[in-house]
């Protein structure tokens, strides 16, 4: 049975902030004339201990079941007053606040009469809504204390270890036969010239022996479903399939190196390499035992050119036919290229090195200092421009197998350099598995193709779906220390709901009335959070259903439904309608 | 809740994020900030790159979260005085300075400040605007509690008489508490490079040569100019603004050799905002060495600044700035390295994209902690794959106090430090 | 149904428009708050209804608002790309475009319906938008609809006052 609303109205003076303009007594008096208002008072500072105490006393004395406070902005004190009513056993959603300060006294300070009338209108509106407010249950979703980490490169490894150290079980899934990812393929890590294996080995050993980590190699995710705290997935490890349940997910699918086929004659001559390929050559266990020799001739290179921004900072004019330009900067290549040049100089001290760049982005910790060191090596730097890319030609029968021509914007000259070796500083692109993972997990990609974070500053590690976090280069190009930082951070995000064992999801959510729903799916198309799905009903009927844990309560589905089947809790059509009627009401009844 | 706690020192956006990420795991967190409000430098910014979203809008919800969080004890206007012990068991003494205002009574109504007769240069506005001796640093301060700057107060007690909440207390004294924590996170941020060290740029002598933070305050809608950019010499609207890059950065002679990483982007952002805020048009030129637009969305922002907004770029490090004493206009002397031409150009205003250096706060806390620091004063990391661990176990770091970085990287690193710190607090 | 100039002449001196503003919690409501904190003054003609997102706004609600007698309706949300719920404001905009056409055909002067993107830092701008709307609507006069609402109940169906 519906209870009769018994509303208490409390008008605040806020010192003289409101009271100095609005006739607060008059407004409080006026409120008593509104239906269902059983008590109406004014106070000096409603948010103060004294003010809060007054509300609590009145809830008791007048058996209030709805409370309206007319004071400052709800963005300021709504949580404060919600707590007050909760302390008295009322649901926090039966509280409504009217803004008489930021929206009245502070902006109409020279018009006290009009301000008082407006205050009355706003109080009448708040009371109209309060009459129709309902208690809403707190939505708590259990969170299983297990995590899935997708990707076993440095990011996945770091995240997995942190979560496991924190005490939660981790399923670490890697699609290749080894952990280590692209970092393991590097010759060195810069600018400290560390051996990546030395950094990775202890971490991998720790993980293989960790009691809380279940590693899966040569494995992929066959299927996944669920929502935060309650996921289920099937992991296919070669031929075996295993079903697992877990609460949170870390996406650490890494990157792929850009394939420059079709540019700079890559693929047409053995001596035109990507920077990763060069690194393979320089490794002690590589095909030439770490000796730097040209692939075609097997001799030490006399002259080498390195070209930056291959596959990055492209525009419509510079990208090959049929390819979509990668506008973004890959962030790590400049430093990688400079450091690699120094490695080359170390291995082939007589070689002439030419670095062709656009802007030199050695921005990280210690990177600029490395660049200063590089400039002491006597290498030549050539600055080319956005639209005039260097050209690599294969010479026939000349002394040097390759030739690089470029415009140098600093000298204004066109240069032609005979070289033995061309190294292309290729950028990063998202890993192949990324779009598949995106659709399985309902997470989105940014314009650059990497996974999109919920907010670039407020939530750079959260994906748009609760419970799914982003780590490492899967989210965007970055180097090893930044990947590690981000992975630790993503682990912290995942640990929060798992540590608490439950997570509160929005109460003011969307509710679909199945009787009215025709299963048209328009609501699903309008939901950014993939919170609405189809469900089958008897006799082949299909309806839309809200996944409560994913609904954020924005109301976009509600306003799109052609069958008026959707109710937005706490912002119902009837409630908003009542507020508008109250605002435009010509008589005090409201 | 876990038995142990974590201490976060510094409540700019990085410290705030770290505290939230620890507290959200059910761990008690002490967040200590030496100024009267949380927020740090991010609260001074108008808009942030590369999305041009409003800085205060995205920061203030987090500021409010941190004040309300059941697991966070916020200690503003406070400083760490002593640290002893080891990872898992640190004992820390924290001193809260007297505001001379009872925080439990003050409602932040601002009536006192309206009547205070003393005007002082406002540090938050980079000394362009003024505040009263009784003040909040900015309107959205958290906690919204006034503070009396005793150095400038004349003790007329007008505020005390006016305050209806009876919150003013001239007898208030500093308070010291002792807490026991499992781990510590440093988020002590940065200061701006002092450009007076570069005599050739005239900062500090020429009225219309500004630092980047001064320009931010002019741009800010809640700043001393209400978002209208004007010249400090005569109040006129600048129509030609020059932005100089690498001021104090990439500079082995008079500044710091490292790259300050954020200046290219913030200069582009400020050039765009200048065009946006100044009605009737404004020409903006950025003098640079390399445009370091490396992060997510940065390159696109840089391209857009040229295509959509018409920001000009000249590749050349400015050699000298001279002032026209009659107009207070500035003459910039530079070599355009793309054409090889030396030239002079006149501007109404010059904004120096000053670099970021380790803060005074970092140096102060290190007198107590004695952490190894690099040659510039940034805290050293344990190794390449432990970027947020300092060399003392149990002490972690995040944000610019570790090395220069932008807000997304700082916030991400804050979460990383929270992860590491939480392992010592469970 | 066309609004005529006669009404304007009659009511010019005393007419104070009543404008209903639907503001989203995250951006425009905060912007209106900032106008307050900054003490920017604007005319007292607007009544604000807070919603979580402009995406919530059903065209039916807007039409009802006119039916109940609003002289103007302001929809204010986050700037493009800033929506707290990612794309709610875009969807609101799509509905608004169609709604604008619709109200015109219903004989409501299109100046009565306005959509603005106001960020949480644009207090000054919010005040400016309100001032402009009030001025514009004063020029065109009161709404042709004018139901009487007593006790929350609409008394009669709208009959244009022409």
Q: Three-state SS for B67?
A: helix
Asked if B140 and B254 sit in the same domain, the reply is no
Does residue A588 register a pLDDT over 80?
A: no
State whether residue C27 sits within 8 Å of chain B by CB.
yes
CB B247 within 8 A of CB B202: no
Shortest Cα distance, chain B CAs vs residue C29, angstroms: 11
Q: Which of A299-308, B1-10, B53-62 has the highest mean pLDDT?
A: A299-308
The domains of chain C are located at 4-154
State whether residue A586 sits within 8 Å of chain C by CB.
yes
Rg, Å, chain B Cα set: 22
Q: What homologous superfamily is domain A258-429 in, according to CATH?
A: FAD/NAD(P)-binding domain (3.50.50.60)
Which residues lie below 8 Å from residue B271, measured CB to CB, with a gap of 6+?
B241, B243, B284, B286, B305, B309, B311
Query: Longest C-alpha distance within chain A, in Å?
Result: 102
Asked if B139 and B50 sit in the same domain, the reply is no
Residues of B in contact with A490 (CB under 8 A): 415
Residues of C in contact with A583 (CB under 8 A): 18, 20, 47, 49, 70
State whether residue A488 sits within 8 Å of chain B by CB.
yes
Q: What was the pLDDT predicted at B228?
A: 85
According to CATH, the topology of domain A7-136 is Rossmann fold (3.40.50)
Q: What was the pLDDT predicted at C150?
A: 65
User: Could you tell me the pLDDT band of residue C11, with boundaries at 50, 70 and 90?
Assistant: very low
Residues of A in contact with C151 (CB under 8 A): 35, 587, 589-590
CB-based contact B337 A44, cutoff 8 Å: no
Lowest pLDDT segment from A118-132, A525-539, B54-68, B112-126: B54-68
Mean pLDDT for chain C overall:
84
Structure tokens at B299: 């390159």
Shortest Cα distance, chain A CAs vs residue C84, angstroms: 9
Does residue B43 register a pLDDT over 50?
A: yes
Residues of B in contact with C121 (CB under 8 A): 46-47, 54-57, 221-222
Number of domains in chain B: 3
Does residue C13 register a pLDDT over 80?
A: no
CB-based contact C121 B57, cutoff 8 Å: yes
Reduce the secondary structure of chain C to three states and give it as a string. Answer: CCCCHHHHHHHCCCCCCCEEEEEECCCHHHHHHHHHHCCCCCCCCEEEEEECCHHHCCHHHHHHHHHCCCCEEEEEECCCCCCCCCCHHHHHHHHHHHHHHHHHHCCCCHHHEEEEECCCCCHHHHHHHHHHHHHHHHHHCCCCCCCCEECCEECCCCCCCC
Asked if B343 and B404 sit in the same domain, the reply is no
In a domain, B402, yes or no: yes
Residues of B in contact with A44 (CB under 8 A): 164
Shortest Cα distance, chain C CAs vs residue A81, angstroms: 17
CB-CB neighbours of A320 under 10 Å: 11
Mean pLDDT of C114-120: 91
- The second-level CATH assignment, the architecture, of A146-254+431-503 is 3-Layer(bba) Sandwich (3.50)
Quick: pLDDT tens for B179-188. 999 999 999 9
Check whether domain A510-569 has CATH 3.20.20.60, yes or no: no
In a domain, B104, yes or no: no
Q: What was the pLDDT predicted at A169?
A: 98
Does residue A11 register a pLDDT over 90?
A: yes
The domains of chain A are located at 7-136, 146-254+431-503, 258-429, 510-569
Q: Among C30, C82, C123, select the one facing B221 at the smallest CB separation.
A: C123
Structure tokens at A407: 């415009």
Angle B98-B99-B101 (CA atoms, 0-180°, nearest 5)? Answer: 120
Q: Rounded to an integer, what is the distance from CA B80 to the centroid of its chain?
A: 20
Chains adjacent to A (≥3 CB pairs closer than 8 angstroms): B, C
Asked if B152 and B202 sit in the same domain, the reply is no
Q: Which residue does chain C place closest to A120, by CA atoms?
A: C47
Residues of A in contact with B50 (CB under 8 A): 456
Q: What was the pLDDT predicted at C160?
A: 46
CB-based contact A458 B58, cutoff 8 Å: yes
Q: What was the pLDDT predicted at A428?
A: 96
Quick: pLDDT tens for B217-234. 999 877 888 788 999 999
Residue A227 CA to residue A248 CA, distance in Å, equals 9
Does residue B134 register a pLDDT over 50?
A: yes
C-alpha torsion angle, residues C94, C97, C100, C105 (rounded to 10)? -100
Quick: pLDDT tens for B141-150. 889 899 999 9
Does residue C121 register a pLDDT over 50?
A: yes
Asked if B239 and B338 sit in the same domain, the reply is yes
State whether residue A73 sits within 8 Å of chain C by CB.
yes
Domain that holds residue B402: 5-97+174-189+359-425
In a domain, B102, yes or no: no
In this prediction, what percent of chain A has a pLDDT beyond 90? 79
Quick: pLDDT tens for A506-525. 899 999 999 999 999 999 99
Does residue C156 register a pLDDT over 80?
A: no
Residues of B in contact with C83 (CB under 8 A): none
CB B389 within 8 A of CB B382: yes
Q: Among C34, C44, C52, select the one facing A555 at the smallest CB separation.
A: C52
Q: Which residue does chain C place closest to A123, by CA atoms?
A: C47
CB-CB neighbours of A239 under 10 Å: 5
Q: What was the pLDDT predicted at B276?
A: 83
Quick: pLDDT tens for A29-76. 999 999 999 999 998 878 777 788 899 999 999 999 999 999 988 987
Quick: pLDDT tens for A418-448. 999 999 999 999 999 998 898 888 787 887 8
Does residue B364 register a pLDDT over 90?
A: yes
Q: Comparing A13 with A125, which gets the higher pLDDT?
A: A125
Asked if B156 and B242 sit in the same domain, the reply is no
Which residues 215-274 of A have a C-beta within 8 angstroms of B?
none
Q: Which helix (H) or strand (E) holds A513?
A: none
Q: What was the pLDDT predicted at C3?
A: 46
State whether residue B108 sits within 8 Å of chain C by CB.
no
Residues of C in contact with A73 (CB under 8 A): 29, 33, 36
Which residues lie below 8 Å from residue A587, measured CB to CB, with a gap of 6+?
C148, C149, C150, C151
Tell me if A7-136 shares its fold with A146-254+431-503: no
In a domain, B106, yes or no: no
Quick: pLDDT tens for A366-402. 999 999 999 998 899 999 998 889 999 999 878 999 9
State whether residue A558 sits within 8 Å of chain C by CB.
yes
State whether residue A582 sits within 8 Å of chain C by CB.
yes
Which residues 445-484 of A have a C-beta within 8 angstroms of C?
464
Q: Which residue does chain C place closest to B53, by CA atoms?
A: C82
Q: Which of B326, B355, B384 is the last residue of a domain?
A: B355
Q: Domain of B77: which CATH number?
A: 3.50.50.60
Lowest pLDDT segment from A575-589, C38-52, C65-79: A575-589
Shortest Cα distance, chain A CAs vs residue B58, angstroms: 7
CB-based contact A328 B340, cutoff 8 Å: no
State whether residue A573 sits within 8 Å of chain C by CB.
yes
Angle A23-A26-A27 (CA atoms, 0-180°, nearest 5)? Answer: 85
Residues of C in contact with B308 (CB under 8 A): none
Which CATH number, 2.60.120, 3.40.50, 2.30.29, 3.40.1710, labels domain C4-154? Answer: 3.40.50
CB-CB neighbours of A349 under 10 Å: 9
Chains adjacent to C (≥3 CB pairs closer than 8 angstroms): A, B
Residues of B in contact with C34 (CB under 8 A): 221-222
Q: Which of C65, C66, C43 is nearest to C143 (CA)?
A: C66
CB-CB neighbours of C50 under 10 Å: 22
CB-based contact A556 C65, cutoff 8 Å: no
State whether residue A119 sits within 8 Å of chain C by CB.
no
Tell me the ipTM for this assembly: 0.92
State whether residue A455 sits within 8 Å of chain B by CB.
yes
State whether residue A349 sits within 8 Å of chain C by CB.
no
CB-based contact B57 C123, cutoff 8 Å: no
Reduce the secondary structure of A534-564 to three states and give it as a string. Answer: EEECHHHCEEEEECCCCCCCCCHHHHHCCCC
Structure tokens at A539: 């006799």
Residues of A in contact with B417 (CB under 8 A): 488
C-alpha pair distances (Å), A133 with each of A4, A9, A136, A151: 11, 15, 9, 47
Angle B115-B119-B123 (CA atoms, 0-180°, nearest 5)? Answer: 125
Q: Among C29, C36, C42, select the one facing A101 at the smallest CB separation.
A: C36
Does residue C155 register a pLDDT over 70?
A: no
Chains adjacent to B (≥3 CB pairs closer than 8 angstroms): A, C
Mean pLDDT for chain A overall:
93
Mean pLDDT for chain B overall:
94
Shortest Cα distance, chain B CAs vs residue C141, angstroms: 32
State whether residue B221 sits within 8 Å of chain C by CB.
yes
CB-based contact C38 B51, cutoff 8 Å: no
Residue C7 CA to residue C142 CA, distance in Å, equals 8
Which residues 11-70 of A have a C-beta within 8 angstroms of C?
35
Residues of B in contact with A368 (CB under 8 A): 250, 257-259
Query: From the candidates C59, C131, C149, C158, which should be mutated to test the interface with A, based on the most A CB atoms within 10 A?
Result: C149
Mean pLDDT of C2-14: 47
Rg, Å, chain A Cα set: 32
Asked if B12 and B84 sit in the same domain, the reply is yes
State whether residue A113 sits within 8 Å of chain C by CB.
no
State whether residue B57 sits within 8 Å of chain C by CB.
yes
Asked if B256 and B331 sit in the same domain, the reply is yes
Quick: pLDDT tens for B289-342. 999 999 998 998 999 899 989 999 999 999 999 999 999 999 999 999 988 899
Shortest Cα distance, chain B CAs vs residue A227, angstroms: 19
């Amino acid at each position: 049975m519906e209870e009769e609303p018994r509303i208490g109205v409390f008008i605040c003076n806020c010192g003289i902030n409101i009271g100095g303009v609005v006739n607060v007594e008059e407004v409080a008096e006026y409120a008593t004339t509104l239906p269902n208002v059983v008590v109406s008072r004014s106070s000096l500072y409603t948010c103060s201990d004294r003010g809060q105490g007054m509300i609590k006393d009145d809830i008791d004395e007048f058996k209030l079941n709805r409370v309206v406070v007319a004071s400052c902005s709800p963005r300021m004190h709504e949580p404060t007053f919600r707590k007050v009513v909760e302390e008295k056993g009322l649901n926090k959603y039966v509280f409504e606040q009217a803004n008489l300060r930021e929206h009245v006294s502070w902006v109409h300070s020279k018009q006290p009469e009009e301000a008082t009338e407006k205050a009355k209108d706003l109080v009448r509106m708040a009371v109209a809504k309060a009459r129709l407010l309902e208690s809403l249950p707190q939505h708590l979703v259990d969170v299983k204390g297990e995590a899935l980490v997708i990707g076993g490169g440095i990011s996945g490894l770091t995240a997995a270890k942190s979560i496991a150290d924190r005490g939660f079980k981790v399923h670490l899934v890697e699609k290749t036969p080894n952990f280590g990812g692209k970092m393991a393929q590097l010759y060195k890590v810069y600018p400290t010239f560390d051996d990546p294996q030395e950094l990775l080995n202890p971490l991998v050993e720790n993980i293989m022996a960790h009691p809380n980590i279940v590693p899966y190699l040569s494995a992929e995710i066959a299927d996944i479903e669920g929502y935060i705290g309650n996921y289920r997935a099937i992991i296919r490890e070669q031929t075996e399939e295993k079903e697992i349940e877990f609460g949170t997910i870390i996406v650490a699918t890494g990157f792929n190196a850009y394939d420059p086929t079709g540019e700079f004659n890559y693929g047409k001559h053995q001596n035109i390499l990507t920077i990763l390929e060069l690194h393979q050559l320089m490794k002690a266990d590589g095909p030439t035992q770490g000796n730097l020799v040209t692939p075609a001739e097997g001799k030490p290179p006399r002259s080498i050119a390195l070209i930056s921004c291959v596959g990055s900072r492209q525009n419509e004019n510079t990208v090959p036919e049929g390819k979509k330009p990668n506008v973004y900067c890959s962030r790590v290549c400049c430093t990688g290229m400079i450091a690699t040049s120094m490695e080359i100089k170390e291995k082939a001290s007589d070689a002439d090195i030419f670095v062709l760049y656009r802007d030199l982005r050695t921005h990280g910790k210690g990177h600029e200092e490395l660049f200063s060191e590089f400039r002491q090596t006597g290498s030549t730097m050539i600055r080319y421009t956005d639209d005039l890319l260097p050209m690599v030609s294969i010479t026939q029968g000349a002394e040097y197998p390759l030739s690089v021509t470029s415009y140098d914007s600093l000298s204004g000259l066109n240069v032609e350099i005979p070289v033995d070796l061309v190294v292309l500083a290729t950028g990063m692109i998202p890993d192949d598995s990324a779009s598949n993972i995106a659709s399985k997990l309902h997470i989105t990609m940014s314009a650059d193709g990497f996974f999109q974070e919920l907010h670039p500053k407020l939530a750079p590690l959260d994906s748009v779906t609760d419970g799914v976090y982003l780590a490492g280069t899967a989210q965007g190009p970055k180097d090893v220390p930044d990947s590690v930082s981000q992975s630790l951070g993503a682990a912290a995000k995942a640990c929060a709901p798992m540590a608490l064992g439950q997570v509160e999801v929005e109460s003011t959510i969307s509710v679909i009335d199945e009787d009215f729903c025709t299963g048209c799916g328009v609501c699903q198309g309008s939901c950014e959070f993939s919170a609405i799905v189809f469900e089958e009903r008897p006799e082949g009927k299909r309806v839309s259903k809200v996944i409560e844990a994913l609904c954020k309560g924005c109301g976009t589905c509600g306003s799109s439904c052609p069958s008026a089947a959707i109710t937005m809790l706490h912002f119902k059509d009837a409630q908003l309608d009542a507020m508008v009627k109250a605002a435009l009401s010509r008589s005090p009844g409201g | 809740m876990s038995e142990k706690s974590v201490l976060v020192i510094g409540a700019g956006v990085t410290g705030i994020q770290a505290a939230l990420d620890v507290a959200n795991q059910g761990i008690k967190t002490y967040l200590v900030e030496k100024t009267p409000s949380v927020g740090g430098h991010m609260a001074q910014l108008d808009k942030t790159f590369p999305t041009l979203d409003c800085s205060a809008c995205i920061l203030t919800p987090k500021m409010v979260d941190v004040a309300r969080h059941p697991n966070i004890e916020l200690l503003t206007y406070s400083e760490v005085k002593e640290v002893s012990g080891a990872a898992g068991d640190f004992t820390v003494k924290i001193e809260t300075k007297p505001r001379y205002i009872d925080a439990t009574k003050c409602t932040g109504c601002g009536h006192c400040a309206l009547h205070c007769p003393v005007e002082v240069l406002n540090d938050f506005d980079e000394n362009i605007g003024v505040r009263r001796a009784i003040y909040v640093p900015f309107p959205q301060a958290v906690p919204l509690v006034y503070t009396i700057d005793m150095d400038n107060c004349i003790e007329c007690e007008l505020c005390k008489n006016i305050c209806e909440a009876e919150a003013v207390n001239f007898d208030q004294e500093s308070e010291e508490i002792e807490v026991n924590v499992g781990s510590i996170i440093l988020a002590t941020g940065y200061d701006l490079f002092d450009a007076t060290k570069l005599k050739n740029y005239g900062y500090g002598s020429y009225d219309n040569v500004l630092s980047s933070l001064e320009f931010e305050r002019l741009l800010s809608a809640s700043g001393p100019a209400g978002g209208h950019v004007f010249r400090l010499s005569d109040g006129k609207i600048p129509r030609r603004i020059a932005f100089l890059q690498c001021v104090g950065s990439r500079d082995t002679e008079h500044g710091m050799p490292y790259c300050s990483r954020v200046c290219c982007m913030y200069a582009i952002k400020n050039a765009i905002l200048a065009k946006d805020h100044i009605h009737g048009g404004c020409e903006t030129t950025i003098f640079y060495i390399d445009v370091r637009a490396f992060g997510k969305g940065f390159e696109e922002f840089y391209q857009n600044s040229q295509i959509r907004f018409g920001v000009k770029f000249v590749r050349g490090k400015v050699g000298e700035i001279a002032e026209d004493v009659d107009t207070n206009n500035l003459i910039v002397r530079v070599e355009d390295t793309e054409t090889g031409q030396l030239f002079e150009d006149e501007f109404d205003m010059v904004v120096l994209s000053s670099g970021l250096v380790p803060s005074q706060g970092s140096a102060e806390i290190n007198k107590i902690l004695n952490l190894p620091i690099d040659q510039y004063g940034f805290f050293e990391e344990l190794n390449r794959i432990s970027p947020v661990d300092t060399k003392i176990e149990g002490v972690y770091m995040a944000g610019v106090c570790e090395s220069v970085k932008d807000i997304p990287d700082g916030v991400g690193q804050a979460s990383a430090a929270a992860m590491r710190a939480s392992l010592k607090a469970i | 149904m066309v609004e005529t100039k006669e009404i304007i002449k009659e009511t010019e001196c005393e007419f104070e428009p009543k404008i209903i503003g639907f503001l989203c919690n995250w951006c425009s409501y905060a912007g209106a708050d900032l106008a307050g904190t900054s003490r920017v003054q604007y005319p007292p003609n607007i009544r604000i209804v807070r919603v979580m997102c402009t995406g919530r706004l059903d065209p039916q609600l807007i039409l009802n608002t006119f039916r109940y007698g609003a002289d103007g309706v302001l929809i204010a949300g986050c700037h493009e790309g800033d929506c707290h719920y990612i794309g709610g404001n875009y969807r609101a905009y799509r509905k608004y475009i169609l709604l604008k056409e619709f109200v015109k055909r219903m004989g409501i002067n299109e100046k009565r319906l306005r959509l603005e993107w106001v960020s949480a830092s644009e207090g000054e701008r919010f005040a400016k938008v309100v001032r402009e709307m009030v001025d514009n609507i004063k020029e065109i006069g009161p709404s042709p609809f004018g139901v009487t609402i007593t006790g929350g109940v609409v008394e009669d169906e709208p009959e244009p006052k022409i």
